Every structure is written in structure tokens, then in C-alpha cells.
Amino acid sequence: MTEETPYEARVREPWPGRRDPKSGAAARSEIVTSWRRSQLSGVVSGAEDLPFNPNLNRTSRLVTAATPVIDRLAAHLDGGGATIVLADSNAQIIDRRAGGSTLARALDRAMVAPGFSYAEEHAGTNGIGSVIEGRRPIMVSGTEHFRENLQQFTCVGAPVVNPFTNSIIGVLDVTSRLSDTSELMTPLVVAAAREIETRLLADSSRREQLLLEQFLARANRSSAAVVTLNEDFIITNTAASRLLEPTDHAVLWNWTARTMGSGEYAEGELCVGDDVPVRAQARMVRMDDKSIGVLIELRVHHDLQKAIALAPPSPGVTLAAPGAAATHDPLAGLPPGRSAVWQRARREIACTAGLDESVLVTGEPGTGKRCVAEALVGGRPSAVLDAMAVDRDPAAWISKAEDVLTDGGHLVVTHIDALPVPLCGSLIALMKESAARGGRIIATATRLDFRVSRIGDHFPVRLHLPALRERPEDLADIVPFLLDGQPTLRQRMLPSTLQALMALAWPGNLRELHMVLTSAAVRANGVDLALQHLPYEYRAPSADREPAALKRAERETILDALSVSAGNKKRAADRLGIARSTLYRKMRALGIDEKRWDTCDT
């Protein structure tokens, strides 16, 4: 790539007051703002790659409403100098029509084709991503494009807005070569986008009318809290409105996806509102043989909270003796959550804080093991040592541990599963010697395989933290907790955004979630966090969302059976109505650690 001349640099940096040397026109404010966002996102003007996703949703409501409109436009533009582009709310192109063969080849070279993402954070200023960011029609012509390979085109895009939620669900764009630019492009695209919205409204009216009819028919006959909802809206009776909070829309929708799967009915127990336990019964509502929403009845379950509190701990967990109490509240700084699995974990943490035994905290990376370990130590004197850093100076590392434990202190050791075998023996000896003085170790580990060092056998108490994907309903509580926890993250999250997050697998758990929220808060710049503020790869659930939800539900069912059976796999298999060999196979397929549930199976 050749070095830029001052002229080219000015064209590619249209700050206020700058003028295009060719036309003499001042840079428009919306272009200036978009360029600033592009630069802050790190877009490279000379780059020629874009994210590509071959999984296109060609059956969405947007495509259904837009197809007749695009068909008519394509008939008028066939063989001409313009092409029609339809993108979804994530700026991924899902359709491209018309335009001559020469223009089509040029667009292919610039990757203006189905499957490619034109989100502003990837493609810079353009007629798709900049529409989503600005929420208004925009024309981007020639050198106004941030990326050089787009500067041969003029793009005019207009948002397609959901008539009920006022959220952008797509972008309609008309693109031509720079030489074929016409002032008529903008009114043409805006009119076509409004026509698509009209068709969406008509279709939505039928859907919402049927859902309303189903809601009224049930609400008039039931004393329960009655809710009808789909991904876009929620209807409640008086009892439900008193019970639910705004984030419960996403909680209920996610619960339905997990428990109902491809079936017609579902029932179960969950917590809504201010941790109110309810029994829920849901029924699918269909129109033209397509699912358009669900009808849910909620009844407050007064015994469920007591059942959660009295649920047996996981195998390997030793609880404090009756009457034992911690000198501090170990739960004060931990994330909240309404799921049964997290409530059980919090109870175990609270009970463990009243013990003087060494504790091993296990869980996947990012689940908050160190946070729990330090909470168990509380305000008592302690030190934190990372076993992964022991290679720097093994003698100094073990000497520091000896100083803390000999004085009866409380030592936090992170990544103890990475401790070299020779040092494991030294640390075990220190644990035994210091026990009489009140010294103890709170250690964290990702792996549970200690067959070589056997150091895990010397921890009388173990706590296991569940992965975030095992408790998606907790995101409704965790997200506000993380957003309120820092002065820079004060925004609220829209229910549709929370709904998208609850559909993800979160391999990085809480650490990954915090990173995503921080990035979204910067992009939102003080407004409520919407879907477009999330990093691109987090905006849309994967194509296998429903299978993932079914797998997650199956995994939770097996975990519950194992917990109730105290880890006895034979009894758990009997409860599930399957052979023990089938249970082992499913545990391996679903990533359930067999070692954690090692007990006598006779």
C-alpha cells in the first residue's frame, strides 16, 4: 500500500471544519461521528476482511415482510446500476438483489454479499452499520466510507424498525457505483423501509391479536398470575404485574426455551421478581402451524424457598456444626442469583465460612473461585499465592506459605492444581503442622484430577461453583450487580439484550460476562444497553440455540438427580429411568465431571 499524501489523509479524516478538496463541501456531522466511532473501534481503513457467518435466517419475520418489497424493487432495478441489500439487526447481510453483472462482481470483491457483517466496528462508516448506530437513514458516498475498498460506491441505508418495540430489526440499503449516484436513492430506500414496517405491523397485529385472545380467555378463568409473551412483548394480568420485574421477560422466555424445547407444554419451578419462588405452567401458542408465543400461569410456591434452603449439599461438602457462625458475611460481595444451584452454592459458602478447616474451591475458569476464597478468609490476616508463579522462585514461594501458616494465618492459594508435585509434599506437611495453630489454606482449582500429587485429598471441605451456562436465569440478577458495581457501568440493560445474553454458553463465565458488559457500556456511551452495543459475536444466538437449550436442560436434570442421590449413580439412573451405562455415557457427552460425583454406587 502506498504512503498517503496529505490530500488523501484529509479525505480520510473528515473532522469538523475540514472540506472535501474536490467538492468543497464540509464533512457532514453524522459522517464525522461515525468516523470517530470507527477509529475508536480500531477499524483499519485498508483492511479487506470481514466476519462471515454462513448461517442465514431466511425465515425470519424481517425476511417474510421484506421479500415482496424487495421483489418489486428488484424488478425495476434489474440490470441497472443499483443493487438492493437487506441486513439484519446485527448488520449481517442476508439478501442481495438486482444490479448488473459488472456491479455484482465489484460488490463480490468488496464482500458486500450475504453472510458478511457490515457492523461499524468491523467495516467502519458504511450504509448498513452506520444506520444501526445512528438509528436513522444515511447516505455514505465515495470517500465518506471509512474503508478504502468501499470508496467506489454510494450506499443509502434506512432502518427497519419493529413497530411494537421500536427496536431496529434490519436495514434496507441500495448501493450503486459512485458515478451512478442519484438524489432519488434516499427517498426510494426510506419509502421501501416504511413499507416493510407496515407489513410487519400487519403481521404482528395478527400475532398479537391471537396472543391477546388466548391471554384473555385464560386470565378470565384463572386466579393465578397469567402471562403471555414472545421475544418482543409481554402481556400480564394484575397478579402477574405485581409479581414480575422488567427483567423477568427475558427470564421467562429463556425458561420456556429450556424447559419446553420442541414440545407444546412445560412446567417447573423458578424464581421471579424479588426472588419470589413460583410454579410455572406454560403452553405454546401457534398460528398457521408456527409458534408465535407462550401462555404461562404462575403460582407462588411458598414451600420452594424452604426446599432450596434445606437442599442437601453437593458430595464432598462438609458444613459447619449447628450453632457455628462466621464472624463476617462471606456472601456480601458475591454476585446474586435466583437459581436453585446458585442458592445451594451460596448456602454451602456461608456454612463453610464458620469452619476452621482448609477448603478447596473448584470450578471452571471465570466462575469466581478466587472471590469466594477471599470471602471465606474475610478480614483475617492472610496472603495470596499463585501456584502458577511458583517456578519464578520455589524456595521463596514455599517460605512465604510457611510464614503465614506457622503464624496461624489463613493462606489463599490459587491454581493449586498447577502446583509442581515436589512442592505438594511440602505444602501438605505445612498444612498438617499448622492445623493445631489455627492456620488453614483456602485453595482454588480448575481441574479435579489430583491422582499424581493427591493434594486434593488433604482438603476436608470442598466447594464447587457452577458454571454460568448452568444457571442462565441468574443473569437477570448478575447483570445489574456488575453494572452497579462500578461508577463507569451505570447503564441499564434492555430486556431484549438480556434475552440474547441468556442464550449464550459463556465458556469464560463471569469474567467473560464482565468483559462484554464493559465493552457494551463504552459503546452505549451512557444510554441503556441495547443489542447493538454488545460485541458483534454476542449479539445473536448461534444457529443451534434450541439444541443447546435442550442439552442444557438435560444436563441440569442429570445434575439434580445426582445431587438428590448424593452422587450415587445407580440411584440417580433409577430416578431418571435409564440404565447406569446410559447415565455414564450422557455424563461424558454433556461434560459432567464423573470424579466430582465419585461415591459408592452399590
- Shared domain check, 422 and 339: yes
Contact 148, 46 (CB under 8 A): yes
Question: Angle CA(94)–CA(498)–CA(483) in degrees, nearest 5?
Answer: 130
> Could you write out the DSSP letters of every residue in 66-80?
HHHHHHHHHHHHTTS
Count the domains in the chain. 4
Contact 209, 216 (CB under 8 A): no
Q: Which of 305, 334, 363 is the last residue of a domain?
A: 305
CATH number at residue 244: 3.30.450.20
Q: At what angle do helices 545-564 and 340-352 cross, to 10 degrees?
A: 40
Q: Is residue 602 part of a domain?
A: no
Q: Tell me: the pLDDT tens digits for 120-147? A: 988 999 999 999 999 999 999 999 999 9
C-alpha to C-alpha distance for 222 and 297, rounded to whole angstroms: 8
- Shared domain check, 299 and 336: no
Q: Which of 202, 231, 251 is the last residue of a domain?
A: 202
Q: Which residues contact 518 (CB under 8 A, 6 or more apart)?
A: 488, 489
Q: Is residue 34 part of a domain?
A: no
- Shared domain check, 198 and 51: yes
- Shared domain check, 167 and 61: yes
Q: Pairing relation of β-strands 382-386 and 265-272?
A: unpaired
C-alpha to C-alpha distance for 591 and 568, rounded to whole angstroms: 18
Total count of residues recorded for the chain: 602
- Shared domain check, 500 and 458: no
The structure's pTM equals 0.60
Q: Is residue 556 part of a domain?
A: no
C-alpha to C-alpha distance for 233 and 246, rounded to whole angstroms: 11
Q: Which of 256, 271, 305 is the last residue of a domain?
A: 305
In the sheet that 265-272 helps form, which strands lie side by side, from edge to edge?
Answer: 234-236, 225-229, 290-300, 276-287, 265-272
Q: Where in the sequence is the domain holding 510, given as residue range(s)?
A: 469-545
- Shared domain check, 254 and 358: no
- Shared domain check, 194 and 67: yes
Q: What pLDDT is attached to residue 230?
A: 82
CATH number at residue 533: 1.10.8.60
Torsions phi, psi of 401, nearest 5? -60, -40
Q: Which residue has the cell 448488520?
A: 91
- Shared domain check, 477 and 360: no
* List of E strands, 249-289: 265-272, 276-287
Q: What pLDDT is attached to residue 100?
A: 81
- Shared domain check, 166 and 89: yes
Q: Is residue 33 part of a domain?
A: no
Beta bridge partners of 92: 117
Q: Which residue has the cell 472540506?
A: 19
C-alpha to C-alpha distance for 595 and 588, rounded to whole angstroms: 11
Q: Is residue 139 part of a domain?
A: yes
The set of cell numbers assigned to 404 is 503465614
Q: Is residue 458 part of a domain?
A: yes
Q: Is residue 321 part of a domain?
A: yes
Q: What pLDDT is attached to residue 489?
A: 56
CB atoms within 10 A of CB 429: 12
CATH number at residue 102: 3.30.450.40
- Ranges of the chain with pLDDT below 50: 1-12, 14-17, 21, 305, 307-326, 381, 542-549, 600, 602
Using alpha carbons, list the distances in angstroms from residue 138 to 63, 147, 187, 192.
Answer: 22, 16, 11, 14
- Shared domain check, 487 and 444: no
Q: Tell me: the pLDDT tens digits for 303-343? A: 554 544 444 444 444 444 434 444 567 777 788 888 878 88
Q: Is residue 243 part of a domain?
A: yes
Element (H, E) at 153: strand 153-161
- Shared domain check, 495 and 400: no
The set of cell numbers assigned to 599 is 461415591
- Shared domain check, 395 and 444: yes
